[in-house]
Chains A and B, each alone.
Chain A
Amino acid sequence: MSGRLRAYGALLGAQARSQAAYRASFVVDLVGNVGATLFDVVTVLVIFGVTRELGGFTLRETLVMVGLSACAFATADLLVGNVERLPAYVRTGLFDAVLLRPLGALPQLLLMDLPLRKASRAVFGLAVLLVALGRAGIDWTPGRVALALLAPLAGVLFFGSIFVATATVSFYWTESGELANSVTYGGRDFTSYPVTAFGGWFRAVFAYGMGFAFVSYQPALALLGRADPLGLPAWVGWVSPAVALVAAALAATAWRVGVRYYRSTGS
């Protein structure tokens, strides 16, 4: 097992060395990636410039959701996001080379081009979360401290699962990139706002059908000690780690089935 870990470490090192070959563009990317999350925060600030409440939540409360969402998405994007390159691997048959090595296919795929330039964005997401938590006037209890630590991790796992599950579609349907993006990036935008800001079937599908409410909205309610305006019981705010585990199990199954279905390319 330790040999395997060392092997993954070596792959990561090779990736770092390859990226260092293009140093200037690496720095530009580091800076540019902070901009993306900054933009998310500014969007929320602008909205609150014209309204005092959004879906029944104040700016400070909403920023807790923005922080949870940004931290979870940016970290998942750093660690798992480049699984979105799977369609290219499948289309060109490069996935063959991945399957021929004595290592897990998914870890290899993630490590082989881990986008280290996205690290800046994950750090910035975490900073937004810490500031938001500090300024939201939370009544800290041991349970809430635990949730504040677990919820972002659960969010990372949840977004990671979404990345993997949507990418597996490309095993069946090669041109699936846009579909995957609409779910992952759509999910990130969705989780940046209280779900009460959305309505009808759209909210039902994204928030509870796909589980995005458990990334930021539900844990934020539990942290802030607010009752759910939609009437769900208080314990729902605490189950996001369990939801994330279920999502991970589903994603793992989808991945395994997808790999078995993989058809490679001619010759």
Chain B
Amino acid sequence: MSVIEVRELRKEFTVRVKVGRLRREKRTVDAVAGVDLRVERGEMLGYIGPNGAGKSTTLKMLTGVLTPTSGEVRVCGLRPVPERTRLALRVGVVFGQRSQLWWDLPLRESFDLLRHVYRVPAAEHAARLRRCRDLLDLDAFVDTPVRQLSLGQRMRGELTAALLHGPEVIFLDEPTIGLDVVSRQAVRGFLGELGRSGDTTLVLTTHDLADIERLCRRLVVIDHGRVVHDGSIAALHDRYGSRRLVVADLDTALPEPPELPGAPLLRVEADGHRLVFALESAGVAEVVAALAGLAALRDVSVVEPDIEDVVARLYAGKEGPLVNASGIAGAPS
């Protein structure tokens, strides 16, 4: 049985829009417009989309915070809204913008309270806490009131808080937002560790695609409330034709643009001193060898396809071949 099963999930909001001076009109907005999703035990799923795409709304329906307008949801075999408290015992939630901790109490006391709230046996609780303290370096601030913690420290506290009851599924909404590099790496490393154990299912929304590349094999992209991609990151690159690039800097410009089999020339830059090829059937070595026979090479670099660009293209709704431009001097970033 899948840990998460979602069929035809919808959420409509009615908003009142000002029209004219006094009149207001009711309009219906589809925040989530028919999402189907199935997640198996132990999967690590990246759930991404532009602002307002319906990511958080989906997570809130999966955790019983919001009532769906229509559709079927099962998480751990439970219906989130009617069986909210039973589900809460089996899932962990980190919403980057909402604290689960007690503001005026030291972190340690929040953890202790959560043991009672989730009815966790003392020994289990202690073992999990010890593991989190080691992996997330909590010892330095575990006795500090939550309100005095830095964002990075608090987020590490939130992660611990979400895990102390040994949840089967963890939902993370923007867990690395606003964190410094060190905290970001600590959080990512910790989540990666968690995923490798294979028992815990992880659903992650983020704007930071590096999180996804590091953690998730499967990527679900949502836009305007609909799933526009569901598959591996490699499948996303295939589908949108993103290719690796070879960038060659030449000592002297060639009189004529060269034609290499299996590697079409994409651009000529810097008055012919820089050539950019897309790798299709040809390998890097073939391209470099062919180029070396034609001109004196000053520098050659290979640029990996960047998920950021693929996703940007996806959000814009333009399917079709896509080439990577970032990482090359002069390219718009």
Contacts of B57 in A (CB 8 A): 264
Q: Which size class do B's interface residues fall under?
A: 20 to 34
A262 to B57, alpha carbons, bound, how many Å?
12
A residues 1-60 in Cβ contact with B at 8 Å: 3-4, 6-7, 9-11, 14, 17-18, 21
Instruction: Return the contact of B116 from the options A6, A17, A93, A104 (Cβ within 8 A).
Output: A6
Residues from chain A with Cβ under 8 Å of B88 in the complex:
100-102
A93 contacts B97, C-beta separation under 8 Å: yes
Beyond A18-B102, A104-B85, whether A96 also contacts B117 by CB under 8 A is: no
State whether the Cβ of A231 lies closer than 8 Å to any Cβ in chain B.
no
- In angstroms, how far is the closest chain B Cβ from the Cβ of A21? 6
- Say whether, besides A3-B119, A14-B105, A260 and B81 are in contact (CB < 8 Å): yes
Are A96 and B65 touching (Cβ within 8 A)? Answer: yes
Asked whether any CB of chain A lies closer than 8 Å to the CB of B235, the reply is no
Q: Is B298 on the interface with A (CB-CB < 8 A)?
A: no
Contact A96:B60 (CB < 8 A) given known A103-B117, A262-B66: yes
Query: Would A267 and B85 count as touching, CB distance under 8 A?
Result: no
A232 contacts chain B at the CB level, 8 A cutoff: no
The contact string, 1 if C-beta is below 8 Å from chain B, for chain A 225-267, is 0000000000000000000000000000000000011111011
Which residue of A is nearest B13, CB measured?
A: A263
**A30 vs B102: C-alpha distance in the bound complex, in angstroms?**
24
> Within B84-100, which residues are at the interface with A (CB < 8 Å)?
84-86, 88-89, 93, 95, 97-100
> Beyond A7-B119, A102-B85, A102-B117, is A14–B102 a contact (Cβ under 8 Å)?
yes
Interface centre among A3, A94, A263, A267 (most CB of B within 10 A): A267
Q: Count contacts on A: residues with CB < 8 A to the other chain.
A: 28
For the complex, what is the distance from the CA of A18 to the CA of B104, rounded to whole Å? 6
CA distance A21 to B13 in the complex (A): 42
Given the contacts A10-B116, A11-B117, A101-B117, A17 and B98 also touching, CB distance less than 8 Å: no
B86–A102 contact, CB under 8 A? Answer: yes
Within 8 A of B (CB), among A71-122: 93-94, 96-97, 99-104
Q: Quick one: CB contact mask for A171-201 with B, threshold 8 Å, 1 for yes?
A: 0000000000000000000000000000000
Q: CA of A93 to CA of B173 in the docked complex: distance in angstroms?
A: 14
Is B176 at the interface (CB under 8 A from chain A)? no
Tell me the bound Cα distance from A99 to B84 in angstroms.
8
Chain A positions near chain B (C-beta within 8 angstroms):
3-4, 6-7, 9-11, 14, 17-18, 21, 93-94, 96-97, 99-104, 260-264, 266-267
Other A-B pairs, 10, CB within 8 Å; known A96-B60, A96-B65:
A3-B119, A4-B119, A6-B119, A7-B119, A10-B117, A94-B98, A99-B84, A260-B67, A261-B67, A262-B67
Which residues of B does A touch, CB under 8 Å? 13, 51-52, 56-57, 60, 63-67, 81, 84-86, 88-89, 93, 95, 97-100, 102, 104-105, 109, 113, 116-119, 173-174
